Each structure stands twice: as structure tokens, then as C-alpha cells.
Amino acid sequence: MNPNPDLRPVLTVQPLGWCVRVAPGQSLVEAARAAGVRLRSSCRNGTCRACLCRLVAGEVDYRIAWPGITVEERLGGWVLPCVAVPRGDVAIDATADVVPTPPNLR
């Protein structure tokens, strides 16, 4: 057994199944980019909605009090990963830009 397991949450980007570790306080978009996965985004402050995607597993908190999604969208499983911070392991169904090589767990 590993005496120092990496307890950082894992972000899984579906449908490709890429997995990356999320550092404390890091948004889902920031974690993906740090691992070489480019999720669609523009403003990175929750207003433009370019990164809007489905949260298919797990839960998130938001860095801002009211990100640019409606209550109905939240209840429908939509998330803004540019301002979403995972509570634990999460999975999103999102379009990722082409990356040279698939990322490894970090």
C-alpha cells in the first residue's frame, strides 16, 4: 500500500475517459489545462457560458455566488467548469480540444 496516496480529486472528461487530478482550489478548467486537456472556455469567470457542459458524476461548488446558469440548468445537471471546484471525484461530458497525447493521472 502506498504510504502517501494522492488524495486530490479526479476529474474524468467523457466521452474520452481522460482523467486528471484537481489541486485544492483549482477549477475544473484549470485542472484540465494543467494536464494538457483543453476544455472549451472563454471568460473563465462564469459569464460567457462557453464551457457549459453536463456534470455526470460527483458534486461541485462554485467560486462565485451566482454563476451564469439558471436554477433549472443546475437541477438538470449542467455545470460551468471554469468556476466549478470539485467536492470530490467528478465526471463531466464535455468537448475537449485536440491534445498531442492523452494526459496521465497527475
Beta bridge partners of 86: 60
What local confidence, expressed as pLDDT, does residue 104 receive? Answer: 57
Distances from the Cα of 50 to the Cα of 8, 80, 81, 101, angstroms: 26, 8, 10, 24
CATH of the domain at 84: 3.10.20.30
Beta bridge partners of 78: 54
Beta bridge partners of 18: 13
What is the grid cell recorded at 46? 462564469
Task: Check whether 11 has a pLDDT greater than 60.
Answer: yes
Is residue 14, in this structure, part of any structural domain at all? no
Domains identified in the chain, total number = 1
Prediction pTM value: 0.84
CA distance 60 to 74: 11
What is the chain's mean pLDDT, rounded?
87
Is residue 80, in this structure, part of any structural domain at all? yes
Is residue 17, in this structure, part of any structural domain at all? no
Is residue 53, in this structure, part of any structural domain at all? yes
Is residue 100, in this structure, part of any structural domain at all? no
Task: Check whether 102 has a pLDDT greater than 80.
Answer: no
Is residue 12, in this structure, part of any structural domain at all? no
Mean pLDDT of 92-98: 79
What is the grid cell recorded at 54? 453536463
* Closest CA relative to residue 28, chosen from 101, 92, 72: 92
Higher local confidence (pLDDT), 41 or 22: 22
Strands (E), 1-106: 10-14, 18-21, 53-57, 60-62, 78-79, 84-86, 90-93
Q: Determine the structural domain holding residue 66 and report its residue range.
A: 22-93
Task: Check whether 30 has a pLDDT greater than 60.
Answer: yes
Is residue 6, in this structure, part of any structural domain at all? no
